[in-house]
Copies of this chain bind each other. A is one copy, B any other.
Amino acid sequence: MIAFIAAAMLFPMLWSLAVGENEMVRIFLLSMTAGAALGGTMYAIGRKSDQEFYRREGLAVVSLAWIIGAAIGAIPFWLCPEFREQGNLAAAYFEAMSGLTTTGATMLSDIEALPEGLLFWRSFTQWLGGMGIVVLFVAFLPALGVEAKHLYKVEVPGIKKEGATPRIREAASLLWKIYLGMTAMVAILFMIGGMSLFDALTHTFTTLATGGFSSKNASTAHFSSLYLEMVKILCIIMAGTNFALYISILRGRPRDLVRDTEFRTYLAIIAAMTFLVMLSLVLYDQFPVGTALRDSSFQVVSIMTTTGYTTADFNAWNQFARLSLLALMFVGGCAGSTSGSMKVVRLVVVFKMMLREVQKFFFPKMVKQVKLGGKTMPEDTLRQTAGFVLLFIGIWAAGSLFMATMCPDLETAAGASIAALGNIGPGLGMVGAAENYGWLPAQGKIFLAILMVIGRLELFTVLALLVPAFWKE
């Protein structure tokens, strides 16, 4: 895994070579050597082990892939003099973790001061992280988790001694093809809109990953054409859709998409919240209707899918619009997409569970099952989903409390906590759309990086490492 991340630096290095950034070429070569050395050493140590690869090892590898991966990914940042002018080692780790987890929170106040090769790498980490998550949750984890199978609508059966591995491999390879195809399509659409190859590529990487890193200081507002904004909205919505549905389409079942409860709810939330936020902008902020619709649709889609691109400083909007966006940070896109946060399907399930409890309070002996898309959800799945949502809110609250020790107001603390845990990027207040995370002390940056990885791996994967039994022989 370490060697893979080091190898991925080949692409930004080639870009630096092409544009003549010799210093960056040297830095990437150094970083790749360091990664290869570390990866090689670990391979040499582990090669002789005859231990089989079980559930425990699977969970450990997944968590460590992000935690150590971000450390490897941080090397080029830290070695780059232009970056070091703006941040220290903790900042480099923060930026790399923000990339690999597709969060998009940045500590940079002047993004454009960085060499192109490093900006390429910064966006590329999101593309890699986004793909990693889709493969993990659509192809790999359903074979492990109780809940996942039902939420992600994947047909991969549980791991048995025989046969499961080829199916995982097949799904993973199909997902890579879909992702690569979408990358080519989005990059072309961006270039048609007048973006340079560099801008088109870096923004494609972070659009598909619902990551939100931009190579421009003004984020997406830098490209102010209506065409580009509309293309971005559509591409982001596409990236926030369950990739298992794309597999269904490729396998000749396009109707699965329109029939999917989660996908329909996802679109309905986007439409409803765009309308409400637009209304509030017209009523309270005296926006013209056209501007209000354009700004609200972009921000709602960007924030809800946890992308975090900004075309407007929503932190300066009215309180209803601001709180709506904060609330959307908890939603996320569909399960099995590159988006973060809780995911629409979990909220649908939890909403149905709450309805059932209200009815059961009135009819205590009623037996009622929760259904999703016509299928009965097992009680185990319901319990795990409720546990997930409660845990997510609990970690956010605890994170906000810790952040409150170093933030000037509660919005900033609560916003930074959900922006990291939900992998969104911008929060509110001092970490709002027009601000950055550079002013946070090192312990704040490291803490947010931990929240990012916990949220990105959907809590349980990382928290299972804290179960004492995990460490026993």
Contact = CB atoms under 8 A, between A and B. Distances in A.
Interface string A55-68: 11001000000000
A22 interface: no
Nearest to A412: B319
Contacts of A436: none
Nearest to A359: B467
B467 A358 contact: yes
A319 B428 CA distance: 15
A390 B354 contact: yes
Interface in A17-70: 55-56, 59
A354 B394 contact: yes
Interface in A347-364: 350, 353-354, 356-364
Interface of A: 55-56, 59, 145-146, 280, 284, 319-320, 322-324, 326-327, 350, 353-354, 356-364, 379, 382-384, 386-391, 393-394, 397, 400-401, 404-405, 407-411, 413-414, 428, 460-461, 463-464, 466-467, 469-470
Contacts of A362: 55-56, 59, 464, 467, 469-470
Contacts of A405: 280, 284, 319-320
A318 to B, nearest CB: 8
Contacts of A280: 405
Nearest to A324: B401
B464 A361 contact: yes
Contacts of A386: 353, 383, 386-387, 390
A13 B357 CA distance: 44
Nearest to A466: B358
Contacts of A56: 362
Given A354-B394, A387-B354, A361 B460 contact: yes
A387 B357 contact: yes
Given A59-B362, A324-B404, 17 more contacts: A55-B362, A56-B362, A146-B364, A319-B409, A320-B401, A323-B400, A323-B410, A323-B414, A353-B387, A357-B388, A358-B460, A358-B466, A359-B469, A361-B460, A361-B463, A382-B383, A409-B411
A389 B407 CA distance: 28
Contacts of A323: 400-401, 404, 410, 413-414
A401 to B, nearest CB: 6
> How many copies are assembled?
2
Those 8 A-B pairs whose CB atoms lie nearest each other, nearest first: A357-B387, A361-B460, A319-B404, A362-B464, A323-B404, A320-B404, A386-B386, A320-B405
Contacts of A411: 409-411
A272 B158 CA distance: 44
B390 A322 contact: no
A145 B363 CA distance: 10
Contacts of A404: 319-320, 322-324
Given A362-B469, A404-B320, A357 B391 contact: yes
A75 B383 CA distance: 47
A405 B279 CA distance: 11
A387 B460 CA distance: 20
Contacts of A379: 379
A344 B169 CA distance: 48
A105 B360 CA distance: 32
A411 B59 CA distance: 39
Contacts of A382: 383
A404 B467 CA distance: 41
A414 to B, nearest CB: 8
A407 B319 contact: yes
A469 to B, nearest CB: 7
A388 B357 CA distance: 8
Contacts of A356: 387
Contact of A410 (B319, B350, B353, B407): B319
7 contacts: A56-B362, A145-B364, A146-B364, A323-B404, A358-B463, A362-B467, A382-B383
A284, A354, A400: which has the most chain B beta carbons within 10 Å? A354
Given A364-B146, A386-B386, A410 B326 contact: yes
A389 B350 CA distance: 11
